[in-house]
Amino acid sequence: MSLEVAIEKNVAGFRLAVEFAADSAPLGLLGPSGSGKTMTLRAIAGLETPDRGRIALHGRVLFDSEQRINVPARERRIGLLFQNYALFPHLSVAENIAFGLRGLPYAERNRRVAEQLAAAHLDGLAERNPANLSGGEQQRVALARALAIEPAALLLDEPFSALDTHLRGALERQLRKTLASYRGATLFVSHNLEEAYRVCEKLVILVNGSVAAQGPKEEIFRHPPSIEVARVTGCKNFSRARRLSDGRVEALDWGCSLRVAQPFATPPAHVAIRAHHVRVHAGQKSTEENSENAFSCWLAAMTETPFRVTLDLRIGAPPASPADFHVQAEVFKQEWETFRDCPQPWMVELGADRLFLLQD
């Protein structure tokens, strides 16, 4: 069971050129908006025709520019969950789910609709109109409608983006359960990395219309191969880097030299660290000697979320303005309480085993 995609398309100055494969484990397509995620899904569903390439699903060729094969969308048997769900407003919930079951005998059609209604916990809502459903219910109807045709592949285009935050957790759990019992290939498009990480086993990172990284999710998050991928996976702190010796680099933008744990063959172009891996403390007396990669720092600006604070820190000298900072650190509030009233400079630690070295 697999979906193979290798397509190219040029549209008004934007070039999409992607190549990846998915098996029955959900594959996440992750990337910033405008990176070509939705266009890729539409090409697979047959709503967009690539200029060149090949799309095959479980060995069946859906598109091949060389053999001039282009199976129309209606014959591809691919379930597509639209970002805004695209429920038919003039049909009831049950009629929406039955929409793709026209060719089936009446009894079989009813059986499948009932099955989908039950699986999506929509039993009492069969006769409702989509306009009278909550966002979460609409999403479940759209998913039930796509699954009712027993699709060979399921494509989910940002299935949670239209929902209130407090609804997402429960729906995501339900989606993961549904996907676990689904046998076909699943593609999950998202720009939310945590969501993609929870739902998918493997990820494809799209940047500017091409694949910047693909593979098991842990691998990509632990060793992002490039600065773009590091950025997509949520990394916020980057500095140009120069090799000093084996195991040491100079961080040119941060004005400090760092020990690195990761061995490097080719000289790195950038060094990076995730904001929640940056440690900050009042410092001074205790740790300065025995911890490496620790530097004096000053606070340039701060933003608060309910449980955490993000600190913009300048290394080496007091900042000239709130925008004058080197690294962002994300720390829990309890931790922040321990040094917030201590006199500056504080100490910032960029742990050697937390640093990434990135080639361009």
Is residue 76 part of the contact set for other proteins (CB under 8 A)?
yes
Q: How far apart are CA 52 and CA 42, in angstroms?
A: 15
- Nearer to other proteins by Cβ, of 131 and 265: the residue is 131
The span from the first CA to the last CA of the chain, in angstroms, equals: 35
Minimal distance, residue 132 CB to other proteins, in Å: 6
List the 52-57 sheet strands across, edge first.
Answer: 69-70, 60-64, 52-57, 3-11, 14-22, 210-216, 202-207, 27-30, 185-190, 153-157, 78-81
Q: Does 102 bind other proteins (CB under 8 A)?
A: yes
CB of 154 to other proteins, least distance (A): 11
Please select the residue that binds other proteins; options are 28, 50, 100, 184, rule is CB under 8 A.
Answer: 100
Question: Toward other proteins, which CB reaches closer, 74 or 285?
Answer: 74
Residues 113-142 that bind other proteins (CB under 8 A): 129, 131-132
**∠ CA 209-229-331 to the nearest 5 degrees?**
140
Strand 14-22 with 3-11, pairing: antiparallel
Residue 72 sits in the site that holds other proteins (CB under 8 A): yes
Q: Which is closer to other proteins, CB of 68 or CB of 74?
A: 74
Q: CA 222, CA 358: separation in Å to the nearest integer?
A: 12
Among 82, 160, 197, 295, binds other proteins (CB under 8 A): 82
Site for other proteins in 147-206 (CB under 8 A): 149
> Residues 6 or more apart from 337 whose CB is under 8 A from it?
none
Q: Which is nearer to other proteins, 90 or 285 (CB)?
A: 90
State in angstroms the smallest separation of the CB of 147 from other proteins: 11
Nearer to other proteins, 149 or 352 (CB): 149
State the number of CA atoms in the 13 A half-sphere of 347 facing the CB: 17
Nearest approach in angstroms of CB 47 to other proteins is: 5
The interface region with other proteins, picked from 69-77, 210-218, 308-316, 352-360 by CB under 8 A, is 69-77
Cβ at position 72, least distance to other proteins in Å:
7
Q: Which of 95, 96, 56 is nearest to 76 (CA)?
A: 56
C-alpha span between 116 and 137 (Å, rounded):
13
99 binds other proteins (CB under 8 A): yes
**What six digits make up the tokens of 190?**
């998202």
> CA 346 to CA 256: how far, in whole Å?
16
Q: In angstroms, what is the minimal distance from the CB of 209 to other proteins?
A: 21
Binding to other proteins (CB under 8 A): which residues in 24-63? 45-47
Cα-Cα-Cα-Cα dihedral sign, residues 197, 203, 205, 209: negative
Query: Contact residues for other proteins (CB under 8 A)?
Result: 45-47, 72-80, 82, 84, 86, 88-90, 99-100, 102-103, 129, 131-132, 145-146, 149
